[in-house]
Amino acid sequence: MNFTLSIMGTASAMPISDRNPSAQALAVHGRLFLLDCGEGTQQQMRRAHLSFMKVEAIFISHIHGDHLFGLFGLLNTMTMYGRTAPLYIYGPQALGSVLNFYKNFFGEWDCFEIKFVPVCCKEPQVIHTSKHVTVSAFPLQHKIETYGYRFDEIVTERHWQENPDYHPKSFAYCSDTVPFPEEAAWVRGVDLLYHEATYPDEMADRAVAHWHSTAGQAAQCARDAGAGRLVIGHYSSRITDFDALLAQCQAVFPATEAGQDGSVLEF
């Protein structure tokens, strides 16, 4: 498939025996784009048979450990595999210091260039363009500086001529955030929206206190955005009834799926 999303982690900050922290891989025409890189990401990539060498760029939403602690191991494994192609890494400015620490202490044998691109925007901004996709960043509302990312397929003029009815694919990734007015507009019309749903609706007070969203709020964003499908994740360790969480979403936005570690969603 030209667009495929592999979900490698659906847990939030607390360790869960059967769930990894946040990480996803979007395959676009044979290239891979990683979204967050929680602990255990490289093991999950191996289980999913995803190539370390095909990763074109990594997009980190924010500098919380459950979205970042798998990055050092992944970079080291790329070195051991003999990667030579440059690797683009996007994220908040503070990520630069994290990467410098890695380079200073563990990057001696790296045979590829890490190209860090700091993200800083107050509204959607294109930050990465490759042969088949443009990637935009947009700010989310969390405890610290946090960004979501939107991927829009680039379709060539030749492809339009051969397939005049073709619908370009699109995907948006909204990690840790409380709801805010502009969010739905910034992900409007995407084929697939990933949105955190850390808490069930009855724990709305806790969601506000920790700068997260409830299941119903994630579904409302998808509905207001006119998204094609919604997949949720970043579940609190307090959640045991995932069917109830999914039902809360589907009551607002029926085309919702509960993400699971190892899930593969095709566009």
3-state secondary structure 202-258: HHHHHHHHCCCCEHHHHHHHHHHHCCCEEEEECECCCCCCHHHHHHHHHHHCCCEEE
pTM of the predicted protein model: 0.96
Residuewise pLDDT in 10s, the chain (267 residues): 589 999 999 999 887 888 999 999 999 999 999 999 999 999 999 999 999 999 999 999 999 999 999 999 999 999 999 999 999 999 999 999 999 999 999 988 888 999 999 999 999 999 999 999 999 999 999 999 999 999 999 988 888 888 888 999 999 999 999 999 999 999 999 999 999 999 999 999 999 999 999 999 999 999 999 999 999 999 999 888 999 999 999 999 999 999 999 999 998
* DSSP letter assigned to residue 131: S
Helical axes 71-80 vs 95-106, angle rounded to 10°:
40
Summarised one tens digit per residue, pLDDT across range 95-147 is: 999 999 999 999 888 889 999 999 999 999 999 999 999 999 999 999 999 99
- Rounded to whole angstroms, what are the CA distances from 31 to 53, 79, 138? 9, 18, 22
Q: Is 152 a catalytic residue?
A: no
Domains of the chain: 1-153 (3.60.15.10), 177-258 (no CATH)
Which of 18, 36, 66, 165 is catalytic? The answer is 66
How many CA atoms lie within 13 Å of 29's alpha carbon, on the beta-carbon side?
Answer: 13
Distance of CA 1 to the CA centre of its chain: 19
